[in-house]
């Protein structure tokens, strides 16, 4: 039973355009969400996070939106750059002291020059 789902295995966009990566979750106990970027042969690198008390968090070109009623979050990258090409993982953490992160399967983003 996959609690965090990234239904698009891959996404391709043109340089300068917006990239939108989506993530759905099923467990209403999740209250903290993170996005990680992963290059081949490297560990995941933290990008941005959002707490369930917010519906938006922005950091430079990266914005995460959270829709709690729909149990959906998305990562927007504007403008997209070729260096953004990587696998993006959505992760969630439960309230109440369970510190482990539950990850989706990832979406491979390719930004074409």
Partner 1 sequence: GAGVSQTPSNKVTEKGKYVELRCDPISGHTALYWYRQSLGQGPEFLIYFQGTGAADDSGLPNDRFFAVRPEGSVSTLKIQRTERGDSAVYLCASSLGLSGGNQETQYFGPGTRLLVL
60 near partner 1, judged by CB under 8 A: no
8-state DSSP, 78:
S
Burial group, residue 113, by CB count within 10 angstroms (0-12, 13-18, 19+): exposed
Burial group, residue 25, by CB count within 10 angstroms (0-12, 13-18, 19+): buried
31 near partner 1, judged by CB under 8 A: yes
Region near partner 1 per CB under 8 A, out of 12-20, 55-63, 74-82, 93-101: 93-101
Minimum Å gap between C-beta 35 and partner 1 is 11
Of the pair 16, 46, the CB lying nearest partner 1 is at 46
Size of the site for partner 1 (CB under 8 A): 27
**Among 36, 85, 109, 111, interactor with partner 1 by CB under 8 A:** 36
32 near partner 1, judged by CB under 8 A: yes
């Amino acid at each position: 039973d996959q609690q965090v789902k990234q239904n698009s295995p891959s996404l391709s966009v043109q340089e300068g355009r917006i990239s939108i990566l989506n993530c759905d979750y099923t467990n209403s106990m999740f209250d903290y969400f993170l996005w990680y970027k992963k290059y081949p042969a490297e560990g995941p690198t933290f990008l941005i996070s959002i707490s369930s008390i917010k519906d938006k968090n922005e950091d430079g070109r990266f914005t995460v939106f959270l829709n709690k009623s729909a149990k959906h979050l998305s990562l927007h990258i504007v403008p997209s750059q070729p260096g953004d090409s990587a696998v993006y993982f959505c992760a969630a953490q439960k309230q109440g002291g369970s510190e482990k992160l539950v990850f989706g399967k990832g979406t491979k983003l390719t930004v074409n020059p």
